[in-house]
Structure 1
Amino acid sequence: MQKLQISSNEVKLLDFGFLCVQEESAFKAILITRGRRSGTEHAVWLRAVYYNGKIYFSRRNADSDWLKNAKAAPQVKVVFEGKEYDGMASLVTDTKLAEKISELKYPGEERAHEARIVVEVEINNTEYKK
């Protein structure tokens, strides 16, 4: 993992192989989980947040399959810009961190202040799979 600082505003970037994601930013990604019943891969487009070297996904409630799957089988994949990365998912229990992720995910929006269930994904590899 390589972090870069750029000019006076100190924007941090995470280098995932050939792609840079801006620190403290939201972006569209595919989260791939393993079905808790079927065992097959389940892919869903979500708005993700990159913060402090990790990728975060969130929901207002616990009803989604992707969330249930990530809790049951925490080895996940994250795909963005056509590149796939292995990761390990875990629930965020820190309320302050969950609030920060919501603020970054929905900047300036009313829903940024709603309580959310947040999943943290730590990327295991910085080399993407084709």
Structure 2
Amino acid sequence: MQADLHALAHLEFGYLTTVGRVTGRLHTIEIWFALHDRTVYMLAGNHASDWVKNARRTPAVTMTLGGSTFAGTARMVDQAEEDALARRLILAKYQPGYGEDLSDWGRTALAVAVDLH
């Protein structure tokens, strides 16, 4: 499956599905992402976003990349080295094609990881 993941790394968007912390229903968002080994990194500009709150409450999530869906465990990135890696990967992927400077967002957003099973 590692080769499959590597082939999906170039996709513009991924789809994260969380379990609603209030309703218990599945919620899917479209989100920018970067892959490193078997970990998907994302940045939340709003640290209180519903998807972040949902992932904190129920870390069992799925990531859909292309036509493939992967089960995973979400976590807030709290180690400085991994946090820097997540930001570096996401900015390197999206800044070149984006019309505005993403450096403030890349510096202040909350780094979230999904470790794929």
TM-score where L is the length of structure 1: 0.71
Would you identify which runs of 4 or more consecutive aligned residues in structure 1 move more than 4 Å? Answer: none
Aligned residues, how many? 109
Structure 1: runs of 5+ lacking an equivalent: 3-13, 125-130
How much has 1:54 moved relative to structure 2?
1.1
Alignment partner of 2:111 out of 111, 115, 118: 118
**What secondary structure does 1:62 align onto?**
coil
Rg: which structure is higher? 1
Amino acid across the alignment from 2:95? P
> Share of identical aligned residues, percent?
27
For residues 1-130 of structure 1, what are the structure 2 equivalents within 5 Å? 1-2=1-2, 14-16=3-5, 20-22=7-9, 25=10, 27-93=12-78, 94=80, 95-108=83-96, 110-114=101-105, 115-124=108-117
How much is the aligned-residue C-alpha RMSD, in angstroms? Answer: 2.2
TM-score where L is the length of structure 2: 0.78
Structure 2: runs of 5+ lacking an equivalent: none
Note if contact 1:29-1:80 (Cα within 8 Å) is conserved in structure 2.
yes
Amino acid across the alignment from 1:82? G
Higher share of residues assigned strand = 1
Amino acid across the alignment from 2:49? S
